[in-house]
Amino acid sequence: MLFDNLTITMDSLVLYPEYHRLVTVVVPDLWHYYQHEPSHPDGFVGDVRTYCVPISWEELKLPFSLAIIWTLMRVLMTTKVFKPLAVWGKLREDNINKLPESAWRCMCHCVTWSFAAYVLLSRYPDFFTKPHTMFKDWAPGNAVPYDIYLVYAIQGGYYLHRIVDTLFHDIWRTDTIVMSLHHVLSLTLIAFSYATRYHKIGILVSFFHDFDDIFLEFSKVCVYLKFRNGKKHNIFQMLANIFFTFLTFSWCVMRLYWYPLKVLKNTIPLVAKQNEVHHMPFGIIFNIMLWILLAMDIYWFMHILVVLKKVATGQMKELDDIRDLDVTKEIAKANAAKKEQKTE
């Protein structure tokens, strides 16, 4: 069976609060590493030459090819499937361009997360259930299993595609710059963790970060389908509410709970030494990138909370993407109108 090797205990689920370890253990350990860990005589460049395995063209061909395929498929699905369906369904003019974007991303995240989850949970369940052993048997130049390489190739190709997509194809939003930086950071982490053979950490990070986007994009698709042919279809509003609830819950569990407690808590020099890795290369820079990723997760979670607040206080009657510039303008106009009514 698919998950025969996955044995999840109460302890492995981390069902007790351990956020305090991020302050009392992780931060002091990284500070001690920064102050006392011996550095290479040639500095960062010397560490790269010593601990990073050059990524060959043979390894790069697949992600670059997939990036081209992702991009061509985006154009094809937009022009031949999603946009014609939006026009046929007589969506609102502003949603005709938004629907293909969200539908495409929802489909992509289903593919990327499902494959990463399959490889992680069916082939390497200990990475998830025993993250404190991720450094076990680590050594510079270790071979990367082919199935994990495929996860990396798919993710690398997708984020190459997303950088181009975000800057040149997607609708401009209030967080477009942050989103672009996120894609660059993700691509850097993918390449860096692969070259340093921190791929056990990399596949966990991927697993925790793609799942929520499925709910996000599907919820937005439902919002765009709500008004068709000048009529409101409440079934899609109900589905949008349901999947936004799933998004909120999964974001809390995957990105704000399991990610810090299974990844950040276990990617420190202290844990590496417990697994007989006496020197963790790039301990500071690698952890800084992982913590920046957490900061971005918190930043976008604040957007989720703002949406919930606006709906609860009546500033928004129904769910919508407050990052869209047109939605932001509508909310501003509604608030201005309310203020005028109060002053009269």
Distance of CA 309 to the CA centre of its chain: 24
Q: Output the average pLDDT for the chain.
A: 85
Rounded Cα gap, residues 188 and 98, in angstroms: 28
Q: In degrees rounded to 5, what are phi and psi of residue 327?
A: -65, -40
Q: In degrees rounded to 5, what are phi and psi of residue 233?
A: -110, 105
* Token output for 129: 């259930």
Of 58-67, 286-295, 320-329, the range with the lowest mean pLDDT is 320-329
Cβ neighbours for 167, distance < 8 A, ≥ 6 positions apart: 176, 180
Rounded Cα gap, residues 114 and 124, in angstroms: 15
pLDDT of residue 12: 43
Rounded Cα gap, residues 235 and 268, in angstroms: 48
Binned at pLDDT 50, 70 and 90, residue 293 comes out as very high
pLDDT of residue 332: 53
DSSP lists the bridge partners of residue 324 as 173
* Token output for 215: 């709910």
Rounded Cα gap, residues 176 and 244, in angstroms: 21
Mean pLDDT of 324-343: 56
pLDDT of residue 3: 46
> Over 60: is that where the pLDDT of 203 sits?
yes
pLDDT digits (tens, 9 = 90+) for 100-129: 999 999 999 999 999 999 999 999 999 999
* Token output for 78: 């937009």
> Which of 295, 56, 289, 127 has its CA nearest to residue 193?
289
